[in-house]
Amino acid sequence: MFTLIGADGRPYPSEIPGTLGGHRRGRLYGRLDCPSALRAIAQGGYVGQRVFFADEATALSAGYRPCAVCLPARYRAFRAGRDEAAFAAASGGRGGPSGSGGPAHRGRTGRAP
């Protein structure tokens, strides 16, 4: 029997092993053969925080982010989406550099054209 983390972030028993591993405190997930994770495990400081997921959608739903080392493209996409969402929230949803009326379209006075 294996213990996986569900979309709600809670552990549950599974007869099937997880396809992705993660770090509970760091809230990140990656491949089971991730060089960074394997290095940390070899040093003994990672094992107590190790978690497993059935799939990527579950890891994301549980609030974990992709590993920048073993999933660099997914990490960049995650980061770009997070940065865009944070910008939209900070600007009151007025749009970003590609939207109209956002801070990128303001002149030196700070007023919209």
Identify the structural domains of the chain with CATH numbers, from first to last. Answer: 2-96 (3.40.10)
What is the reported pLDDT for 109?
Answer: 46
Backbone angles phi, psi at 38, to 5 degrees: -65, -35
Residues 35-90 pLDDT 10s: 999 999 999 878 889 999 999 999 999 999 999 999 999 999 999 987 777 667 76
Nearest Cα neighbor of 27 from 60, 70, 75, 56 is 60
Q: Are 14 and 47 in contact (CB under 8 A)?
A: no
In DSSP notation, 58-90 reads HHHHTT-EE-TTT-HHHHHHHHHHHHHHHHHHH
Residues 1-11 pLDDT 10s: 899 999 999 99
Mean pLDDT (whole number) for 5-33: 96
DSSP state letter for 5: E
What is the reported pLDDT for 98?
Answer: 46
Q: Which two tokens stand for residue 59?
A: 């890891």
Question: From the DSSP assignment, how many helices (H) and strands (E) are in the chain?
Answer: 3, 6
